[in-house]
């Protein structure tokens, strides 16, 4: 067993850290306040190869492993969790899904520009009445011979307005339940698509979350991913890797909040000494560091299993539930370590605390992760 990162991993980690500090940190408070999408920074992430990190270079990607992706996600999320979710959706849901299950024509037409970061993508599974209960899809993709006719509403879609390419999950054969669902590649500018207003959120406010309405949208048959009825398995398999991405986002939020708390505790004095010398504060820092280390190991283990062709469903869910609960707890404690200063925007920790909450909700709530883990350990 080797816990040492390779030279290449360290280089990628440093590149992501430098980008986050130089390009994302300036303006992160303003973007959060104004709910401003980090368009320029996302473009730069694309140019640097961070939007198609794991995609084969022959499809325009960087050809890196999942460990590299975890390291980069942690660094970006430490500074700007909104930019990180754009990166996560594009890499681990949209690009990964297309590369692994799309056909050659679909890859050439849609994956290449997505992997190069020339455009970004979105993943449309959730609906007003189908969130955790994802098999209850109400959106329909009616088979019309040479095309599907798409009708329905998707909710909470990250990159909803900024994306050019949507991967849409919809029901074609309701009588077949989860086996009747399809995954379709839909171009955002197709006639019949209406984009709802941007959601006014607690956290990750720079990210672009919208509902998307489909009314008689024609989708060519050649845009179906995989066999007829493969859509639900497509969504589940893709989300398996997505959960490693969100676990790494949570890890980054936690480590960002911890680093700020540690630094502050070494400079702030109370009762004649730096507050880090008070045992109550030191114990908080000790617990934060321990939990973060455990979360990091879970993320890296899930990534390692994925890179080595092993089943990573269980480890990905464990990483996601543990890292997201760590992020929420660490960020809240980081505000506490800062006292009143932690409650105002310029110290960053209040934003990290607000950003942390979503990691317990999207890509499968903490309860859903426990369902996946529970079923796996009892062998069902």
In the complex with ligand FAD, which residue's Cβ is closer, 90 or 265?
A: 90
* Angle, CA of 44, 46 and 52, to the nearest 5°: 155
In angstroms, what is the minimal distance from the CB of 85 to ligand CAA? 5
In angstroms, what is the minimal distance from the CB of 282 to ligand CAA? 36
The candidate with the shortest Cα–Cα distance to 119, out of 84, 57, 161, 80, is 161
* CA 129 vs CA 72, 126, 196, 239, 279: distances in Å: 34, 8, 17, 19, 48
Question: Is 255 an interacting residue with respect to ligand FAD (CB under 6 A)?
Answer: no
What x/- string results for residues 158 through 177 when contact with ligand FAD is judged by CB under 6 A?
A: x-------------------
In the complex with ligand CAA, which residue's Cβ is closer, 204 or 281?
A: 204
User: Reduced to 3 states, what is the DSSP secondary structure of residue 265?
Assistant: helix
* Cα separation of the two ends of the chain: 30
Question: Is 157 an interacting residue with respect to ligand FAD (CB under 6 A)?
Answer: yes
Q: Which residue is nearest to ligand CAA (CB)?
A: 362
**From the CB of residue 237, how many other CB atoms can be counted at a distance below 10 Å?**
16
Question: Is 328 an interacting residue with respect to ligand FAD (CB under 6 A)?
Answer: no
- What's CA 278's distance to the chain center, in Å? 37
Q: In the chain, what are the helix, strand and coil shares in percent, each to the nearest 5?
A: 60, 15, 30
- Binding-site residue total for ligand FAD (CB under 6 A)? 23
The residue range among 40-48, 117-125, 213-221, 255-263 that interacts with ligand FAD, by the rule CB under 6 A, is 117-125
User: Quick check: is 333 catalytic?
Assistant: no
CA dist., res. 73 & res. 29, Å (int): 19
In angstroms, what is the minimal distance from the CB of 371 to ligand FAD? 6
The residue range among 60-68, 121-129, 136-144, 267-275 that interacts with ligand FAD, by the rule CB under 6 A, is 121-129
- Active site amino acids: 363
Q: Which residues bind ligand FAD (CB under 6 A)?
A: 89, 122-126, 131-133, 156-158, 201, 204, 209, 358, 361-365, 367-368
């Amino acid at each position: 067993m080797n816990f040492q990162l390779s030279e290449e991993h360290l280089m990628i980690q440093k590149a992501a850290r430098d980008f986050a500090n130089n390009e994302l940190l300036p303006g992160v408070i303003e973007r959060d306040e104004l709910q401003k999408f980090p368009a320029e920074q996302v473009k730069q992430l694309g140019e640097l190869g961070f939007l198609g990190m794991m995609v084969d270079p022959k499809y325009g990607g960087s050809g890196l492993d999942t460990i590299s992706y975890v390291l980069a996600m942690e660094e970006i999320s430490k500074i700007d969790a909104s930019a990180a979710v754009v990166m996560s959706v594009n890499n681990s849901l949209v690009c990964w899904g297309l590369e692994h299950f799309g056909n050659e024509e679909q890859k050439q037409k849609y994956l290449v520009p997505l992997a190069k970061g020339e455009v970004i993508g979105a993943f449309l599974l959730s609906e007003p009445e189908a969130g955790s209960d994802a098999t209850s899809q109400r959106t329909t993709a009616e088979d019309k011979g040479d095309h599907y006719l798409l009708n329905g509403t998707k909710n909470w879609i990250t990159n909803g307005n900024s994306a050019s390419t949507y991967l849409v999950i919809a029901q074609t054969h309701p009588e077949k339940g989860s086996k009747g669902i399809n995954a379709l590649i839909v171009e955002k500018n197709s006639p019949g698509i209406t984009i709802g207003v941007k959601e006014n959120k607690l956290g990750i406010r720079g990210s672009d979350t919208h509902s998307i309405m489909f009314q008689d949208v024609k989708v060519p048959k050649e845009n179906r991913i995989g066999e007829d009825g493969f859509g639900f398995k497509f969504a589940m398999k893709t989300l398996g890797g997505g959960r490693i991405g969100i676990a790494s986002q949570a890890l980054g939020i936690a480590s960002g909040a911890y680093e700020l708390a540690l630094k502050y505790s070494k400079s702030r004095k109370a009762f004649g000494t730096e507050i880090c010398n008070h045992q109550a504060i030191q114990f908080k820092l000790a617990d934060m560091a321990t939990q973060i280390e455990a979360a990091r190991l879970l993320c890296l283990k899930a990534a390692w299993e994925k890179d080595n062709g092993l089943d990573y469903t269980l480890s990905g869910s464990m990483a996601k539930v543990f890292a997201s609960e760590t992020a929420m707890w660490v960020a809240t404690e980081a505000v506490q370590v800062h006292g009143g200063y932690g409650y105002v925007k310029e110290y960053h920790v209040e934003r990290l605390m607000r950003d942390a909450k979503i990691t317990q909700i999207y890509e499968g709530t903490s309860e859903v992760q426990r369902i996946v883990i529970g079923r796996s350990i009892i062998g069902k």
